Amino acid sequence: MWRNILSKSANAAEVGKANLRRERRFSTAIPGPCIVHKRGADILHDPWFNKDTGFPMTERDRLGLRGLLPPRVISFEQQYDRFMDSYHSLEKNTQGQPDGIVSLSKWRILNRLHDRNETLYYRVLIDNIKDFAPIVYTPTVGLVCQNYSGLFRRPRGMYFSAKDKGEMMSMIYNWPAHQVDMIVITDGSRILGLGDLGVQGIGIPIGKLDMYVAAAGINPQRTLPIMLDVGTNNQKLLQDPLYLGLREPRLEGEEYLSIVDEFMEAVHTRWPKAIVQFEDFQMKWAFETLQRYRKKFCMFNDDIQGTAGVALAGLLGTVRAQGRPLSDFVKQKIVVVGAGSAGLGVLSMAVQAVSKMAGSSETAANRNFYLIDKDGLVTKDRKNIDSAAAPFAKDPGDIDGLREGASLIEVVKKVKPHVLLGLSGVGGVLKAMRESDSAKPAIFAMSNPTSNAECTAAEAFKHAGGHIVFASGSPFENVDLGNGRIGHVNQANNMYLFPGIGLGSLLTGARIISDGMLQAASERLASYMTDEETQNGILFPSISRIRDVTSEVGAAVAQAAVAEELAEGHGEVGIKELMQMSKVEMVEYVARNMWFPVYSPLVHEKNGSN
């Protein structure tokens, strides 16, 4: 019963917020001017400044646009409604067609707007984030990367290739914006769960930065998606005559690292305060580059660190869902499937949390965690064990008859875990979770995109039982369990953290991103939900609350940066002001600094470049 009350009040709050957004969206208050160094047709062809038919007549005169547009001025609100009408018509007209075709059609209509008019694009994205995130982000972004060479129309972001060695320091100045705050870089070597997609992986930095704009209000003119093309080992792409990247095998060893080093130096020289997010690098380079740069630059690896923070928040939420005190986290038995960058990142952060809570060593804290990869249970008997996985390998004397390489089903049957967390392939084991020691076992099928999820939401509730807590990396609909019961689906995706990690670091001018800042982000996300919500199996907020979540997470990151004396100040806000901010003031500071898309009056200034 209270579930209904809760959802009603949540709905009322959503409606209130939507009205507020609409008021703000089409408010008559005049926004501050925006300096532009272009005139005439050049403005119409620049998506940062273009307003399509929305240029007022006086602006058309000032900027040399008279006669270049049809005479009638269309308001932002009318443009917005017209776009949404076209989008809904497309939805109607593609009904019944295969999912991939529908998703790509939706991506195309959004992408065309993105290429033409960024203000309108980000406005519709922010207002409709729940519907549009699955298109610009996972799962559709995976399909876009797979088909990138065919979908390519206009470049977005920058491409640095192995052929550019020695040139990067000058190339970085080819980027037209004076200031860049947020960079997402990939080498395309592990795109979601889709493997090596070479240059086609550029879709991921673009999608992540769209989420930065929507969730964290980073000004899109200050974002920069980067593809580091060091070749590909994907044979199909190498043989494809239309493949747009370097048609040669991936660089390895020192040759590879020297390219990444050169890029990092070039970025740091031009924009010393830019934050660099590493995304979808294969495991060996994900760990290596994180160790190499984390004490030198303001950077983080989202797959290792962002994912870990979201998973930890979900694991803590699972304890609350069982109606138990958080301190019981130290007793939870957790099986992690996938010993890659994401799985090991999660384990490392979860073990640290247990060790801190229990006041024990990390070795002791590791007792209740089990790691499984494609060769089964990882133990100290494993030959050629990866050094990053070694700390989590089980002592053969400590696993109650289980052996090295034991299958997932054997491990689950023996251990009866409270949580089964997949960062690769848990299909086929769901029934065994019925024997879990927990009254509310949790299944986290975190792999992306949807086609790579370890199981669907419907499968999880059907086989493991209607009482489970379920989370997935890509979105699924809630599941109808019959008799009016709903199986709630959470989206356990690093999108709940990376925008706040980036924004909190930016607004404090953090020198580096420390473990303490990441932990603060995770803890704030974990405490975001109420007890009622967690006990109802709701571990993460709706994505429609993402800006609010980011304000909280960003503030937690900022406060940790200040406390650890890593903050150097941002713009006019110095260290002293940052230190004086209360928790509430910090949340307000973060929220106030989010960019919001409105048409600003454009003022032309000569002799510059944009």
Ligand X SMILES: NC(=O)C1=CN([C@@H]2O[C@H](COP(=O)(O)OP(=O)(O)OC[C@H]3O[C@@H](n4cnc5c(N)ncnc54)[C@H](O)[C@@H]3O)[C@@H](O)[C@H]2O)C=CC1
**Residues in the annotated binding site for (S)-malate:** 190, 448, 493
Going by their DSSP bridges, the two strands 489-491 and 469-472 should be labelled as: parallel
423 lines the binding site for ligand X (CB under 6 A): yes
Query: Nearer Cβ to ligand PYR, position 79 or 493?
Result: 493
Residues 540-579 that bind Mg ion (CB under 5 A): none
Binding residues: 190, 279-280, 303, 448, 493
Query: Nearer Cβ to ligand PYR, position 221 or 505?
Result: 505
448 lines the binding site for ligand PYR (CB under 6 A): yes
Residues 144-203 that bind ligand X (CB under 6 A): 190, 192-193
Query: Nearer Cβ to ligand PYR, position 307 or 318?
Result: 307
425 lines the binding site for ligand X (CB under 6 A): yes
Q: Which of 38, 51, 208, 394 is catalytic?
A: 208
- 343, 487, 499, 537: which one contacts ligand X (CB under 6 A)? 343
Residues 447-466 that bind ligand X (CB under 6 A): 447-448, 452
d(CA 116, CA 112): 6
196 lines the binding site for ligand PYR (CB under 6 A): no
Helix (H) or strand (E) holding 131: helix 129-136
Which burial class, exposed, middle or buried, applies to 432 when counting CB atoms under 10 A from its CB (0-12, 13-18, 19+)? buried
Query: Nearer Cβ to ligand X, position 64 or 195?
Result: 195
Residues 254-293 that bind ligand PYR (CB under 6 A): 280
- Phi/psi-derived region of residue 68, left when phi > 0, alpha when psi is between -120 and 50, beta in every other case: alpha
Going by their DSSP bridges, the two strands 442-445 and 469-472 should be labelled as: parallel
302 lines the binding site for ligand PYR (CB under 6 A): yes
Distance, CA of 550 to chain centre: 12
Query: Nearer Cβ to ligand PYR, position 186 or 536?
Result: 186
Nearest to 500 by CA among 513, 488, 483, 487: 513
187 lines the binding site for ligand PYR (CB under 6 A): no
Distance, CA of 601 to chain centre: 32
Q: Which two tokens stand for residue 258?
A: 């020297």
d(CA 164, CA 159): 9
In the complex, minimum distance from the CB of residue 532 to ligand X, in angstroms, rounded to a whole number: 25
Count, residues near ligand PYR per rule CB under 6 A: 9
Q: How many CB atoms lie within 10 A of CB 72?
A: 6
Nearest to 185 by CA among 91, 295, 287, 267: 267
**What is the DSSP code string of 75-94?**
-HHHHHHHHHHHHHHHHHHT
Query: Nearer Cβ to Mg ion, position 54 or 207?
Result: 207
φ, ψ for residue 209 (rounded to 5)? Answer: -70, -30
Stretch that binds ligand X, among 6-14, 340-348, 355-363, 479-487 (CB under 6 A): 340-348
Active site residue 137: yes
341 lines the binding site for ligand X (CB under 6 A): yes
- 318, 494, 519, 559: which one contacts ligand X (CB under 6 A)? 494
Residues 112-151 that bind ligand PYR (CB under 6 A): 138
Q: Which two tokens stand for residue 119?
A: 């203000």
Query: Nearer Cβ to ligand PYR, position 208 or 570?
Result: 208
Strand partners, 379: 394
303 lines the binding site for ligand X (CB under 6 A): yes
Helix (H) or strand (E) holding 184: strand 182-186
Q: How many CB atoms lie within 10 A of CB 214?
A: 27
In the complex, minimum distance from the CB of residue 453 to ligand X, in angstroms, rounded to a whole number: 8
In the complex, minimum distance from the CB of residue 142 to ligand X, in angstroms, rounded to a whole number: 8
What radius of gyration do the chain's Cα atoms show? 24
303 lines the binding site for Mg ion (CB under 5 A): yes
Nearest to 258 by CA among 292, 303, 304: 292
Nearest to 370 by CA among 307, 327, 420: 420
d(CA 366, CA 391): 9
280 lines the binding site for Mg ion (CB under 5 A): yes
Which of the listed partners (ligand X, Mg ion, ligand PYR, none) does 492 bind, with a CB threshold of 5 to 8 Å by partner kind?
ligand X
Contact (Cβ atoms closer than 8 angstroms) between residue 197 and residue 232:
yes
Going by their DSSP bridges, the two strands 602-604 and 479-482 should be labelled as: unpaired
d(CA 53, CA 55): 6
In the complex, minimum distance from the CB of residue 591 to ligand PYR, in angstroms, rounded to a whole number: 25
In the complex, minimum distance from the CB of residue 308 to ligand PYR, in angstroms, rounded to a whole number: 12
3-class DSSP assignment, residue 551: helix
In the complex, minimum distance from the CB of residue 138 to ligand X, in angstroms, rounded to a whole number: 8
- 59, 118, 187, 303: which one contacts ligand PYR (CB under 6 A)? 303
Active site residue 8: no
493 lines the binding site for ligand PYR (CB under 6 A): yes
DSSP class of residue 570? B
283 lines the binding site for ligand X (CB under 6 A): yes
**Applying CB under 5 A, which residues contact Mg ion?**
279-280, 303
Active site residues: 137, 208
**Applying CB under 6 A, which residues contact ligand PYR?**
138, 192, 280, 302-303, 448, 473, 493-494
**Applying CB under 6 A, which residues contact ligand X?**
190, 192-193, 283, 303, 307, 310, 337-343, 372-374, 423-425, 446-448, 452, 473, 492-494
